[in-house]
Amino acid sequence: MQFSLWLALAGAGVLISFTPGAGAINTMSNSLSAGFVRSIWGILGQQLALVIHVAIVALGVGVLVSSSPVAFNVIRYAGAAYLVYLGIRQFLSKPDPAKQEAAALRNEPAWSIFRRGLWVNLLNPKAIVFFLAFMPQFIRTDEPLLVQYAVLTATVVVIDILVMWFFFAAAARSFQRFTQTPRGQLVLSKVFGTLFIAVGILLALIH
């Protein structure tokens, strides 16, 4: 891949990562509930979903998904339902006045955080459609495809990790003080629960 083309890819990747969405909301929520350091597990789960999306598009399955209204809608509604479920669960969660920060960091296993991040990004068929439109702009058929897909995937994943962890997760740290009081915990639960539900509804309604 030419350096100028890679720079364009990197620039596009930065813009994509900074676009608020379910992944950003999930990252900020994890940063508040599990801590900045352990929020990386959710981010890594989201990256595995991105890799799977790239693989799906590269193998041509993405064309079938995007051209099949039934398959597309099944995945779309499943993703929307999962986000709404996460939102309702967070919205209804009760504050724990006795919860200390150290205990909060151990509250949820890393695998659980990772798995949630994976499903948040994976159950988004619009990501497949996006990569169908995005990837061909940076792939040259007269050059080795495997190397190009590897460079594209590595670039998108590294950029997304940096943006998610050092921007969204770090930004959530400014709200950390609210988690030390029952009222603050309640407010944050309502806010992030509402955001998850809103994104889920938008995913279901917007075509």
pLDDT in tens, 70-98: 777 777 787 778 778 877 887 887 765 54
Q: Is residue 7 part of a domain?
A: no
Task: Tell me if 164 is assigned to some domain.
Answer: yes
Cβ count within 10 A of residue 132: 18
What pTM value is reported for the model?
0.75
Per cent of the chain over pLDDT 90 is 20
Residue 128 lies in a domain: yes
What is the model's pLDDT at position 191?
A: 78
- The answer to the question of residue 145 being in a domain is yes
Domain span at 70: 22-205
In a domain, 2, yes or no: no
Q: 104 in a domain, yes or no?
A: yes
Is residue 8 a part of any domain in this protein? no
For residue 103, what pLDDT band results from cuts at 50, 70 and 90?
very low
User: How many domains, the chain?
Assistant: 1
Q: What would you report as the CA-atom Rg of the chain, rounded to the nearest whole angstrom?
A: 18
Residue 14 lies in a domain: no
pLDDT for the residue numbered 8? 83
Measured CA to CA, the distance from residue 114 to residue 132 in angstroms comes to: 26
Residue 60: which pLDDT band, with cuts at 50, 70 and 90?
confident
Distances (CA, A) of 174 to 28, 39, 103: 11, 15, 20
User: Which tokens go with 12?
Assistant: 């596009």
